[in-house]
Structures are given as C-alpha cells and as structure tokens.
Amino acid sequence: MNFQPTLYGFILILERGQEVMSSLTRFAEEQNIRSGSITGIGAVEKTTMAYFDLTQKKYLPQEFPISMELVSLSGNMALLNGKPFVHCHAVISGPDLVAHAGHLMKATISITGEIYITVMKNEIVRGPDEFSTLNLIKL
C-alpha cells in the first residue's frame, strides 16, 4: 500500500493481493481518520458483495471469484465504538460488461486499486438502529 497526502485527504494505491476493506480500515487507524469519504476504481478478484434483506435483517452475500473491473467504489469512514469503521458499496463488471453492485464485504486487488479518501474535520459516529439492526450514522 502506497499513499500520498492531498489537499483534502489522501490518494491511496492498493497493490495486487491486498484486501480492500481490511486495508482501508488499517489505513484509517494508522492515519487516525475519524471521518471521511471514499471513492475509487481498479480491478478486484475474490470479491464478496451483499444485499441487505430488511425482512430477514441480514446481508445476503454473493461471491465473484474472477478478476473484475472495480468500476466504482464509494463509501465512508466513521467511528463505531470509538474505532474506525469503513462502509463501502461497489460496482464491479466482468468480461460480459454486466454490472453487479452492492455492499462490499471483501475483495482482493487483482491489478491495482486507486482510492481517494477525503478527510472530514468533524467526527462522525455510528450506532445501532433499532429498526434495521444496522449501525447507522448518528448526527
């Protein structure tokens, strides 16, 4: 993982073999990022994305084992129980150019991950939501 500070945060380059979500979480911890937004592109494999089924109140995962374009990565960083928490959604596409989108559970970089993190000065906190059972942003 390589990074460079920018005017509003960081550009982060994830390299082949690095897992996206754990790398972003570790980066937030190392840089003491208390809140921020995430955008990115690249290529990933061994990807698991999910849909949150409100009736069952659980994520329904789907795996995509082959290398696919990371067409769009978007998300945020906030605090959950005092520690950085990364929440991302992704759009990926394979050789058929069909897009698959959802909550990103995990993905391994297959070529590169070009990720921009905009750091916010306010501390954003997540907490439990009684209706969905998810940890949502609390303002």
pLDDT in tens, 17-75: 999 999 999 999 999 999 999 999 999 999 999 999 999 999 999 999 999 999 999 99
Tell me the sheet residues that pair with 106.
48
| Fold exhibited by the domain 2-138 | 60s Ribosomal Protein L30; Chain: A; (3.30.1330)
- Give percent of the chain above pLDDT 90: 100
- Residue among 120, 114, 115, 111 at smallest CA distance from 139: 120
pLDDT of amino acid 24: 98
Q: In whole angstroms, what is the distance from residue 86 CA to residue 22 CA?
A: 9
pLDDT of amino acid 57: 96
* Rg (the chain; Cα; Å): 15
Average pLDDT, the chain: 97
